[in-house]
Each structure stands twice: as C-alpha cells, then as structure tokens.
Amino acid sequence: MSQSNSDDSSAANDAQAVGVGQDDVQKNIVWHTHTVSREDRETKLGQRGVVVWFTGLSGCGKSTIANELDRLLIDRGATCTLLDGDNVRHGLCAPPSVLQEEHGEEFAGRFGLGFGPIDREENIRRIGAVTELFASAGVITLAAFVSPYQRDRDRVRKTIESSGRSGDFLEVFVDTPLEICKQRDPKGLYQKAIAGEIKNFTGISDPYDVPPSPEIHLKWREGQTPHDQAWEIIRAMENRGVLGPAKG
C-alpha cells in the first residue's frame, strides 16, 4: 500500500512537471542572435527594410495598387515582396475547410481561420510576424489586407518598429467610398453580404476602423489610376527617407 501511494505521488509529480513544461514553454525559448545583422543585409541590398501596409474596404483597390507599386519598385532595382490577403488565405492563414482534408478535423478547427473577430486578429498577427521577418532581412514588404481593426494594425506597427526603427511601418489607407466599392464588387462579395450569404463582412455586417493618422492617405478621385496612386506612395516613401533613388 505504501509503495502504491509512493508510485501514485511520483506519477502525479511527473505529470505536473510535464504540465508545467507544456504550459510555460516560453521559459525554454531563448533568442538566438544572428551573425549577420540587419544592417549587414540592408547594406548588401542597398535599401532599408520597411513594411508598406495597405488597408481599406474590400474592393477599394488595395491589391491593384500594391501590385502596381511592386512593379515600379522592381523596375527601379529594389528588392521587394507582396503579401495579399486572398493569397495568404490559401496557405498560412487557410480556413478550416482547406486544412481538414489533409490534417483532420481537430487540426483544422484549431488552426484554420475564418472571418470572425478573433480569427481576423490571428490572421493579422501571423501576417505581422511574416512581414517583420522580411523587413528584418532588408526587404521592402508590401502587405494588402482589409485589416479592419485599428488595434491589430497598431500591434503590427509595434512589432515592426520594435525590431527595427521608427518609421519602418507605413500605413497606407486606400480611402475609397463604400458606395464605389459596392459598384466595383469585383468578386461579387458585396452582393452576397447584402443578401446575408456572407457573415462578418467588413463594411456591411462588420465594422471598419478608419485609420486616424495613416502615413499615406490615398483619397479616391475620379479618373485617378492605380499607377498614379502607386507613384504617390513612392514619392511619399522618398520624402520620408525610407526609399532611396532608383538603382542603375
């Protein structure tokens, strides 16, 4: 009987120890300093690693402008990359339905992301972490996401600037009126949202926090092209000293 109690006690202690290790893994995670610094990478590339974060309603033109800016930057010799909201939802931030077949229901339910408030928060957290990695490597990183909640965008800003310097995060508010976005409706999403077929749709059944002080405010104007707007961003980046002259 005594031996049994002792074994039970030992097993309980072992289980508790395992639990502590699982619940507090942060104590076992230690930052590994790289031999090659961010400054080394930026010097090699001849540019500053920054994040240009496009936010705005669905259909406002974020992806189109970001694609045009990407092309203009590449043409002038910059090293850059583009992360788009829809594209990322096919992999890193895939919904449960995409993950279930390969990983199973439990995995899909735990890691798949929908469009409710908490899922949107995690979506932007993941993207923020990825953009920080790119920026730390000296890459000009363009991110086009509705990112409707100001607190989430502020968290990404804090992540980017904490690992780099103030000014490494440029918030671009693509300020296109909701009525114009509804008229465009390139994917037919507004029509579905208004009909109640899509829940948590920003601007219809879910709120959008207008940026109070974006670094770049692209106000919609009749006749203005995505090319014009992309050049407006380049000029703003040059004026802020985060983009040097064209190479070559």
DSSP H helical ranges for the chain: 2-23, 38-45, 62-75, 85-88, 96-103, 105-111, 117-136, 150-163, 178-184, 189-194, 226-239
What digits encode the pLDDT tens for the residues 108-150?
999 999 999 999 999 999 999 999 999 999 999 999 999 999 9
The CA distances from residue 23 to 6, 13, 129, in Å, are 25, 15, 22
pLDDT value of position 149: 96
Kindly list the averaged pLDDT for each block of 10 residues, start to end, along the chain of length 248: 44 46 72 89 97 97 97 97 95 96 96 94 97 98 97 98 96 97 92 92 94 97 95 97 89
Q: What is the pTM of this model?
A: 0.87
User: Cα(209)–Cα(217) distance, rounded to whole angstroms?
Assistant: 14
Question: Which residues neighbour 74 within 8 Å (Cβ) at sequence distance 6 or greater?
Answer: 80
What count of Cα atoms within 13 Å lies in the side-chain half-sphere of residue 237?
30
Give me the percent of the chain exceeding a pLDDT of 70: 91
Cα–Cα distance for residue pair 103/215, rounded to 1 Å: 41
| CB distance 59 to 185 below 8 Å | yes
How many angstroms separate the CA atoms of 81 and 179, rounded?
31
Coil, strand or helix: which one is 237? helix
Count the neighbouring beta carbons within 10 Å of the beta carbon of residue 195. 8
Q: Are strands 51-55 and 80-84 parallel, antiparallel or unpaired?
A: unpaired
**pLDDT at residue 8, as a whole number:** 47
Say if CB 22 and CB 29 are below 8 A apart: no
Q: Evaluate whether 119 touches 113 at the Cβ level (below 8 Å).
A: yes
| CB-CB contact of 169 with 55 (8 Å) | no
Active site residue 147: yes
Cα–Cα nearest to 168, from 148, 138, 145, 147: 138
Strand order in the sheet with 216-219: 80-84, 140-144, 51-55, 169-175, 216-219
- Residue from 147, 166, 205, 213 carrying the catalytic annotation: 147
pLDDT per position as a tens digit, 11-22: 444 444 444 455
